[in-house]
Amino acid sequence: MCGIISTAHAKSEHWTNAKGEEFDASPSDVLGPWALFDDGTLLPLNLLSQEDCVRFYKGLQDRPARAANWKDAKSKISYELYGRLLHYSGNNLEGDNEDGRPEPEFFIIFYTNDDKVQSWDELSRSTPGLYSKLIADYPGMVQGVVFGHPQEAMQDFMDVATNTKGEWMFTQFHWEIQMRTIQKMIPTNLYGILVMTRDGIPLFGPDSQTDEQVKATFEKFNGLLQHMRPEDMKGWAARAYYAKAVQPVAFANGKCDPVLIGNPLDEAKLRQMKVYKIDATFQVAADGRVTGVEVEPNGMSPSMVAMFTSGFKRGCLFVGAVDHGKFVDGTYKYHMEVKE
């Protein structure tokens, strides 16, 4: 929780947090191994009961899916910002065109006000470097936006915008009156750095008076993103626990192949091995056990095929196939390509 009032208005229900304390909130998203609620609470998925996993899953059914094209986004923050942003072109700012880009999963809003010292410090120090590394490590996931306080003079906002050189974008000041969700989350001291989901659920921030506070916000956010990576094994058990609870409900009237939790292979390591394509067929039992693996050679030596076969048997976590609400044996086709 980061001390910012959430903008969500869904009907709240009773839940229990990691300390055993009850709280009222509504499901907002599954972020890697965590359940996110609309009050900003993050709860490990495996701390939910099986029944609560199903309840959480059902509570997400009306949530807009992340749009492949930002233009089609229905989530609050993405919708309010689309077509209303500026980016650097040389030393000048010009209108940005987001059409064709994936909708960001998260936003970092840099709130500024008419105190140029505070706003300048917030957007300088180590902030540009931290932001540049974040978007390089998680391309397409995060968009930073500078948002001026409505009472801030436009010239003051533009002075800050044109004299701070981060890779983030800027709101078109005259459109800010239409960005009601973002306005509702302006920090009490009128400036700060706030990490939020595309639905406007606050996650980290907004304190940014010191460089240490800024670094702490980025460190927490980076930790969340790291655990959302498919190859992050620390979150596999929680993801599998949730999937085992909800898959029979999701496919009560249909079928689903086995689900691979995470990705057992790392692109960088494959590239070092000069392996650029992996195809494999898994036989998966109803309880998720791998009962057989066949790895296609794809130009690899027999010893390397054997190595991948053995690794797949030991290092993969599956949730079994589902047929009309029941777990059954199934087949999973694995494919991965790496750019040279």
Domain of residue 131, CATH code = 3.40.30.10
Rounded CA separation 67/73 (Å) = 5
Q: Is residue 1 part of a domain?
A: no
Residues 287 and 211 in one domain: no
Closest among 34, 17, 2 to 232, alpha carbons compared: 34
What does the angle CA 44 – CA 47 – CA 51 come to, to the nearest 5 degrees?
Answer: 120
Instruction: Tell whether 51 and 113 lie within a shared domain.
Output: no
- Which of 21-30, 68-77, 116-125, 250-259 shows the lowest mean pLDDT across its residues? 116-125
Q: Are residues 327 and 278 in the same domain?
A: yes
Query: Both 121 and 266 in a single domain?
Result: no
The answer to whether 93 and 154 have CB atoms below 8 angstroms apart is: no
> Does residue 190 or residue 95 have the better pLDDT?
95
Q: Which residue has the tokens 């306005």?
A: 183
What pLDDT does residue 239 have? 97
CATH classification of the domain holding 49? 3.10.50
pLDDT for 326 beyond 80: yes
Rg of the chain's alpha carbons, rounded to an integer?
23
DSSP-assigned states of every residue in 215-274? HHHHHHHHHHHHHHSTT-GGGHHHHHHHHHHHHHHHTTTSEE--EE-S-S--HHHHHHTT
Which whole number is the average pLDDT over 126-146?
Answer: 95
Q: HSE on the CB side for 255, CA within 13 Å?
A: 6
Q: Name the average pLDDT for the chain.
A: 90
Task: Tell whether 284 is covered by a domain.
Answer: yes
In the listed set 5, 32, 59, which residue is the last one of a domain according to the structure? 59
What the block records as the tokens of 273 is 């091995």
Encoded tokens for 178: 């239409």
Domain range for 152 is 70-228
Beta-carbon contacts of 30 under 8 Å, excluding residues fewer than 6 positions away, are 36, 45, 56, 60, 242
Contact 236, 317 (CB under 8 A): yes
Query: Nearest-CA neighbor of 196 among 78, 330, 25?
Result: 78
Q: Which tens digits make up the pLDDT trace of 150-178?
A: 666 666 666 666 667 789 999 988 888 88
Total number of domains constituting the chain: 3
Q: Give the single-character DSSP code of 69.
A: S
pLDDT of residue 88: 85
- Looking at the structure, do residues 55 and 185 belong to the same domain, yes or no? no
Inter-residue contact 312 to 283 (CB < 8 Å): no
Residues 122 and 203 in one domain: yes
Strands 169-171 and 192-197: unpaired
- Residue 3 pLDDT class (50, 70, 90 cuts): very low
CB atoms within 10 A of CB 45: 24
Please write the tens of the pLDDT for every residue from 278-319: 999 999 999 999 999 999 999 899 999 999 999 999 999 999
- What sign does the CA torsion over 289, 18, 224, 234 have? negative
What's the sign of the alpha-carbon dihedral 301, 303, 306, 308? Answer: negative
Q: Of the residues 189, 213, 228, which one is the last residue of a structural domain?
A: 228
3-state secondary structure of 310: helix
Q: Is it the case that residue 236 has pLDDT exceeding 80?
A: yes
Mean pLDDT of 28-34: 96
| Cis preceding linkage at 206, omega within 30 | yes
172 and 195: one domain? yes
Q: Is 289 helix (H, G, I), strand (E, B) or coil?
A: coil
Whether the per-residue pLDDT at 272 is higher than 80: the answer is yes
Percent over 90 (pLDDT), the chain: 71
Handedness of CA 195, 196, 197, 202 (dihedral sign): positive
Let me know if residue 136 belongs to a domain: yes
CA dihedral 46, 48, 50, 55 (to 10 degrees): -130
